[in-house]
Amino acid sequence: MMSNVDHPDNFRYHTARPEWRGVDWKEVFRFRELIWIFAARDLKVRYRQTVVGIAWSLIQPLMTVFVFGILFKAMNANTTASDAPYAVTTLCGLLPWQLFSLSLSNATRSIVLNQPLVTKVYIPRVILPLSSTLPPLVDFLIAFALMVALLAFYSILPSSTLLLVPLMVAYALLASIACSLWLSALNALYRDVEYAVPFLIQIGLFASPIVYESSVVMERIPEMWRWAYWLNPMAGVAEGFRWAILGNELPSIQYLSLSFAMVVFIFVTGMFYFRRMERHFADRI
Amino acid sequence: MTNVAIRLEDLGKKYRIGAKQPYHRLSEQMTDWAAGMLRLPGKLTKSNREEQQPRSDGEFWALRHINVEIVQGEVVGIIGRNGAGKSTLLKLLSRITEPTEGRIGIRGRVGSLLEVGTGFHPELTGRENVFLGGAILGMRRNEVKQKFDEIIEFSGVGPFLDTPLKRYSSGMQVRLCFAVAAHLEPEILIVDEVLAVGDAEFQQKCLGKMDDVATSGRTVLFVSHDLSNIERLCSKCMLLEQGRLAMFDEVHQVVENYSSYGSISTPVEQQLAELPENEFIRLNSVRVFQKNVETNSLLNGDPFDVEIQCKVFKTHPQLRVCLELFDPMGNMAFVSYHDAVDREQHKLSIGHANLRATVPGNLLAPGNFSLRIGASIFRQFTLTGRHVHVPINLARSGRVDIDLDVPRYVAPFWPEVLWAQEQGDGD
């Protein structure tokens, strides 16, 4: 049943409500099947009429590792601190980064791409960005298999923290959902956002410890400004991931909690912003 | 106590129009935020904004002051001309957009069908689309599964179930989409004009389905331009006019009233005065004569004249004055242009012009018709907006002499048809 009773005479009232409210998760739960159905739709449709299909999710991280490997080698720059080979360390960062960046760019456009849905039926609109963060999980799993192969190739034994990888995946998803709430709602109203996002993602790749380790950068930042680096929500995710797979030394707990706090902050504010803007989608999109 | 399913209380929806729509400007938003952060006196900024509201690039009320209670199980038709607010009302009811003022109370699960095929994906197969479309309309997966065979049977696309939708003919697509929607079983069903799709046979099937729904005790709101469908399906009817609720009553009453639109429409003089300005032509008067007497109550057996006085400011090869006639159901019966007979001779030149159109007798059935008079640059743009509506009433007088008493309007035309008869010897 869709009806929720919030009035003594059983009436559900809809009014113009200017006040700030968070996303109604109870309602989202009632529509949960739709999240899967949309995610499945996107997956089924995505590689139709491509030649290599799903292999794209392998080619992208591989090429990135390769390009940066060559680049840093040529520059004679040492960007890793641990003993693990460069390819492994970088792939550890690239896995969550790819998950984040793919779902973010999908989710940003999700409201606009589903314009007919937004203007012709009622569904909790938050389902659109939510469901578009899921298909990149499949890419992640495939790339993760590559990761395992690479570990075997270098005969690296992962530490027991490997069991925490699912938790780190959830962390990465939370970060991308948090940002998606803001960006998808903003994009519905100001189309500028979808042009800015690829650019932001490009910057993010360098601003986060993806193709390098944070400890290498930390040494070069004046001590009083080091915290600023960790305002980046993905900084914590990437290092956490590397730690879970390789058992690297973790950055200090203050830094990590700062990064995590940012994720929570963006998530909570995004929830309210999305709900606030949601009521304009159908009229303004 | 009657069981009210839907209650609209002083409902209103305002839209912003103008070139700057639909995006509100980022800069404007930012100054708003900045003002908020600096804690500028909230009242001051608010009242400023209120004053700005009636700007010319501004706003209009698509709906306002709507107060209605709909009892559970009623099938309610919604009629009105284009732009009267029908779609806005449906969007508000289905929660797609929020009201600007007032509120909507709803008891029960709402399913809305504002467009056939919303969310269907061309790359997915028919089978996949049934589940997708069902979920979008609010059906559970199990519900769709249960009704799956029924849906497929109704749509008649069985052999193509595993073919991508994009390979379907458009007729098949529509049938599949409607089939899914038709099996939605909410307590309150909201349907926009979706029956206007598909071939005649399928339309009948859909109407049959709507009949089932209507008699199953569910509350239905149904928009259509086809008044005969409205009369067939609905028990009550809302008439919207320019965002206001003009009538809400028993269906035949409303339809009749809407047909004889004159009783609610604005006087012709006022319509003429409110016509948009243009550089080509101004209509000064529109009058109807029969036997040289000015009247709107006509006899259907005799011809009548429509006299249009206008002033032309600028000539144009395609400048035309048109006369349209609408039947009591609101369908156009015919359209005629002032220069239809001889374009050279009837070309409008600068200055005053007096046009006279004669509609023959023994042509129209008795009933409340309406004339629409306007001017346009033919096939390019209209010069008179919505045109001038002139209600006329035709009473029965024609030589068509039958004893059959037709109580209600059945068709727009009632010409003298000549019958011949040859009889055999009877063996």
Does residue A216 sit within a domain?
yes
**B421 occurs within a structural domain:** no
From A189's Cα to the closest Cα of chain B, the distance in A is 6
**Domain boundary at B236, B259, B282, which?**
B259
Residue B26 lies in a domain: yes
B179 and B206 share a domain? Answer: no
The residue segments making up the domain with residue A46 are 25-274
User: How many domains is chain B built from?
Assistant: 3
Residue type, A181: L
Rounded CA separation B373/B285 (Å)? 10
What pLDDT does A231 receive? 92
Segment A117-125 mean pLDDT: 88
Size of interface A-B (CB pairs under 8 A): 104
pLDDT tens column, A211-255: 888 888 888 888 888 889 999 999 999 999 999 988 888 888 899
* Mean pLDDT value across chain A: 86
- Does any CB of chain A come closer than 8 Å to the CB of residue B300? no
Q: Is residue B427 part of a domain?
A: no
- Is B86 domain-assigned? yes
Instruction: Please report whether residue B423 resides in a domain.
Output: no
Question: In this structure, how many other beta carbons lie within 10 angstroms of the beta carbon of residue B14?
Answer: 19
* Claim to verify: residue B145 and residue B178 sit in the same structural domain: yes
Q: Which long-range contacts (CB under 8 A, 24 or more apart) does A224-232 make?
A: A226/A255, A227/A254, A227/A255, A227/A258, A229/A255, A230/A255, A230/A256, A230/A258, A230/A259, A230/A262, A231/A258, A231/A259, A231/A262, A232/A204, A232/A207, A232/A208, A232/A259, A232/A262
User: d(Cα B78, Cα B255) in Å, to the nearest integer?
Assistant: 10
Instruction: Let me know if A172 is exposed, middle or buried by CB neighbors in 10 A (0-12, 13-18, 19+).
Output: buried
Taking contacts as CB-CB distances below 8 angstroms, the residues of chain B near A10 are 107
Residue B189 near residue B137, CB atoms below 8 Å: no
Let me know if residue B66 belongs to a domain.
yes
What whole-number distance in Å separates Cα of residue B262 and Cα of residue B390? 7
**To the nearest whole angstrom, how far is the Cα of A162 from the nearest Cα of chain B?**
36
Residue B413 lies in a domain: no
Residues B236 and B336 placed together within one structural domain of the fold = no
Contact B136 A121 (CB under 8 A): yes
Measured CA to CA, the distance from residue B230 to residue B393 in angstroms comes to 23
Identify the DSSP state of B125. B
Q: Within this chain, do residues B161 and B134 fall inside the same structural domain, yes or no?
A: yes
Domain that holds residue B250: 1-50+58-109+192-259
Tokens 């298909």, residue located? A135
How confident is the model at residue B305, as a pLDDT? 95
Helices A56-74, A135-153: crossing angle, 10 deg rounding: 50
Residue A10 lies in a domain: no
> So what's the ipTM on this one?
0.79
B124 and B247: one domain?
A: no
Other C-beta atoms closer than 10 Å to the C-beta of B170 total: 9
Decide if B130 is inside a domain.
yes
Cis amide linkage into residue A135, ω under 30° from 0? no
Task: Give the CA dihedral A167, A172, A175, A179, nearest 10 degrees.
Answer: -150
Helix pair angle (A253-284, A165-189), 10° resolution: 40
Strand partners, B293: B290
The verdict on a CB contact (< 8 Å) between A14 and B106 is yes
Quick one: which of B244, B194, B218 has its CA closest to B80? B244
Is there a contact between B222 and B78 (Cβ–Cβ < 8 Å)?
yes
- pLDDT over 70, % of chain A: 95
DSSP annotation of A155: T
* Cβ-nearest to B94 among A1, A118, A122: A122
Q: Residue B33 has what pLDDT?
A: 62
- B76: CATH: 3.40.50.300
Give Cβ neighbours of residue A199 (< 8 Å, ≥ 6 apart): none
Same domain, B238 and B326: no
Q: Are residues B97 and B197 in the same domain?
A: yes
Contact B282, B313 (CB under 8 A): yes
Do B277 and B366 reside in the same domain of the chain? yes
Residue A2 lies in a domain: no
**Yes or no, beta carbons of A190 and B23 under 8 Å apart:** yes
Secondary structure (H, E, C), B284-303: EEEEEEECCEECCEEECCCC
Mean predicted confidence (pLDDT) in A116-132? 90
- Å from A267 to nearest chain B CA? 20
Looking at the structure, do residues B273 and B375 belong to the same domain, yes or no? yes
Residue B290: left if φ>0, alpha if ψ -120 to 50, beta else—which one?
A: beta
Residues B391/B296, Cβ–Cβ less than 8 Å = yes
* Contact B24/A at CB under 8 A: yes
Closest Cα partner for B16 from A117, A14, A184, A189? A189
The domain total for chain A is 1
**Which pair of structure tokens corresponds to residue B311?**
């002033």
A48: nearest CA in chain B?
B123
What is the CA angle A56-A59-A65, rounded to 5? 145
Residues of B in contact with A120 (CB under 8 A): 96, 114-115, 118
Locate A81 and state its tokens.
């601190």
Q: Where are the beta strands (DSSP E) in chain A?
A: 12-15
Residue among B109, B121, B135 whose CB faces A34 most closely: B135
For residue B219, the cross-strand partners are B188
Chain A within 8 Å of B96 (Cβ-Cβ)? yes
Measured between alpha carbons, how far is B79 from B201 in angstroms, rounded to an integer? Answer: 24
Is residue B87 located within the same domain as residue B227? yes
Q: Is residue A283 part of a domain?
A: no
pLDDT at residue B38 in the model: 56
Q: Among all residues of chain B, which has the CA nearest to that of A13?
A: B105
Strands (E), B155-280: 188-191, 219-223, 236-241, 244-250
Question: pLDDT 10s per residue in chain B (427 long)?
Answer: 568 889 998 999 888 765 444 445 555 566 656 655 555 444 444 334 333 334 445 677 889 899 999 998 889 999 887 778 888 999 999 888 888 888 899 888 888 888 777 788 888 888 989 998 888 888 888 888 998 998 898 888 888 888 888 888 877 888 888 888 878 888 888 888 766 566 667 777 777 877 787 778 888 898 887 777 788 888 899 998 888 898 898 888 888 777 655 444 577 888 888 888 888 999 999 999 999 888 888 888 889 999 999 999 998 888 999 999 988 777 788 999 998 888 888 888 899 999 999 999 888 888 788 898 999 888 878 888 778 888 888 887 755 555 555 545 568 888 888 888 888 876 6
Looking at chain B, which residue has its C-alpha nearest residue A128?
B136
CA distance A12 to A284: 25
pLDDT of residue B25: 53
**Same domain (yes/no): B136, B100:** no
Q: Note whether B209 and B303 are same-domain residues.
A: no
State the pLDDT at residue A136: 92
Taking the C-alpha atoms of residue B195 and residue B203, their distance in angstroms, rounded to an integer, is 6
Asked if B119 and A13 come within 8 Å (Cβ–Cβ), the reply is no
